[in-house]
Amino acid sequence: MKKQAMTLLLAAVLVLSGCGRQQLPEEIPADMGLAAVAAIESHTPTALELTEAQTPPEEPVEEPEEPEEPDWSAGSSDYPWVRSGYAYYIRVNRSANVVTVYTAGDDGRYSVPYRAMVCSSGGSGTPLGDFSLDGWYRWEWLGLVGGVSGQYCTQIYGDYLFHSVPYTERYNKGSLQPGEFDKLGTSCSHGCIRLQVADAKWIYDNKYDIAGVTIYDSDDPGPMGKPSAPSIGGSAYPGWDPTDPDSDNPWNKPTDVAPEPKPEPKPEPEPEPEPEPEPGEEPGTGSDTQPDPAPGGGNVGGE
């Protein structure tokens, strides 16, 4: 009887307080005291509770995928995403001594091989990693370690550069070190990336179109293979890089000029021998000779 009265009292209180929408237990335990009932009676639902009770849960909306940023993580074997405004990306195979330039592919990455260059790295003295274009500098001529100079120097990172094979005299393009040039394709630098002049000049000229550089090690030289460089040590012009486009480069001038052809002399015809006189005939009395004039100088024969 006591339990029945308590249930009816609680229901009446909830109806009068406007809390009929609140979910309550179907049966109030018998041991629930008046203090608990009073606590339920005094609760006023908040606006958030009413909103949650009336609004069905929304379905999660998938956010559109944003394009990934270029992958500059050190040692990454993945080609980075194309950076807006940059046409090229360079990968340097340090162990194989090959530089490969890439352009943009249909996949949105720098994945199309464009140009390959033979080089000389510094082996373990050349740092591995990914280096962005920001902060790069370039010099047409620059002094290098050992009192030599390099042509078409472009900064990779810190003191590490792309540049030509060293010259003994700055601004003298005929002072190239032929022994060092003939080492292209091997690891022999002090840490920089040495190149033929034409390749160093290409990077120098396109510096502002290059998104970045990755230096890595691999037994695979790259998709375009490893180009070769000519040997100049025993050549006629050992102080010049054969690829230097300078107009004074003797490699760019023809060495064997063909002489102008001389007309061959025509052989002179041999003189025909005079006919010998027949036996019994004196010279000068043949039938094809004119008879001597008659004595007195007159004409012979009629008029």
Query: Model confidence over 238-282: pLDDT tens digits?
Result: 999 999 999 999 999 876 555 566 666 677 777 777 766 666 655
Closest CA to 174 of 149, 153, 194: 149
Contacts of 132 (CB under 8 A, 6+ apart): 72, 211, 212
Mean pLDDT of 156-183: 97
Q: Which residues of 150-174 are buried (b: 16+ CB within 10 A; e: fewer)?
A: bbbbbbbeeebbbbbbbbeeeeebb
Position of tokens 């050190």? Answer: 74
Query: Are both 47 and 101 inside the same structural domain?
Result: no
CATH number at residue 169: 2.40.440.10
The answer to whether residue 192 is domain-embedded is yes
Give the per-residue pLDDT at 272: 72
Query: Are both 46 and 92 inside the same structural domain?
Result: no
Query: Are both 47 and 184 inside the same structural domain?
Result: no
Q: Report d(CA 174, CA 181) in Å as an integer.
A: 13
pLDDT value at 298 more than 70: no
The answer to whether residue 291 is domain-embedded is no
Query: Are both 107 and 181 inside the same structural domain?
Result: yes
The answer to whether residue 188 is domain-embedded is yes
Mean pLDDT, rounded, of the chain: 77
Give the per-residue pLDDT at 253: 86
State the catalytic residues: 163, 192
pLDDT value at 23 more than 70: no
pLDDT value at 283 more than 80: no
The answer to whether residue 287 is domain-embedded is no
Q: Are 142 and 163 in contact (CB under 8 A)?
A: yes
Query: Are both 26 and 112 inside the same structural domain?
Result: no
Mean pLDDT of 173-191: 98
Q: Which of 112-121, 239-248, 291-300 has the lowest mean pLDDT?
A: 291-300
pLDDT value at 179 more than 90: yes
The answer to whether residue 259 is domain-embedded is no
Mean pLDDT of 165-185: 98
pLDDT value at 17 more than 60: no
The answer to whether residue 278 is domain-embedded is no
Query: Are both 100 and 237 inside the same structural domain?
Result: yes
Query: Are both 7 and 133 inside the same structural domain?
Result: no
Give the per-residue pLDDT at 186: 98
The answer to whether residue 49 is domain-embedded is yes
Q: How confident is the model at residue 300 (pLDDT cuts 50, 70, 90)?
A: very low
Torsion (CA) 179, 185, 191, 194 in degrees, nearest 10 = 70
Query: Are both 94 and 226 inside the same structural domain?
Result: yes
Q: Report d(CA 66, CA 62) in Å as an integer.
A: 12
Strands 210-216 and 129-132: antiparallel
Q: Report d(CA 222, CA 2) in Å as an integer.
A: 91
Query: Are both 192 and 136 inside the same structural domain?
Result: yes
User: Which one of 225, 246, 267 terminates a domain?
Assistant: 246
| Rounded (10°) angle between helices 2-16 and 34-42 | 10
pLDDT value at 93 more than 80: yes
Query: Are both 218 and 132 inside the same structural domain?
Result: yes
Domain housing 24: 2-54
- How many other CB atoms sit within 10 Å of the CB of residue 44? 8
Give the per-residue pLDDT at 269: 72
Q: Report d(CA 283, CA 289) in Å as an integer.
A: 10
Query: Are both 22 and 100 inside the same structural domain?
Result: no
Q: Report d(CA 249, CA 201) in Å as an integer.
A: 15
Percent over 70 (pLDDT), the chain: 60
Query: Are both 22 and 128 inside the same structural domain?
Result: no
Give the per-residue pLDDT at 136: 78
Rg of the chain on CA atoms, in Å: 51
The answer to whether residue 296 is domain-embedded is no
**Domains in the chain: how many in total?**
2
pLDDT value at 197 more than 90: yes
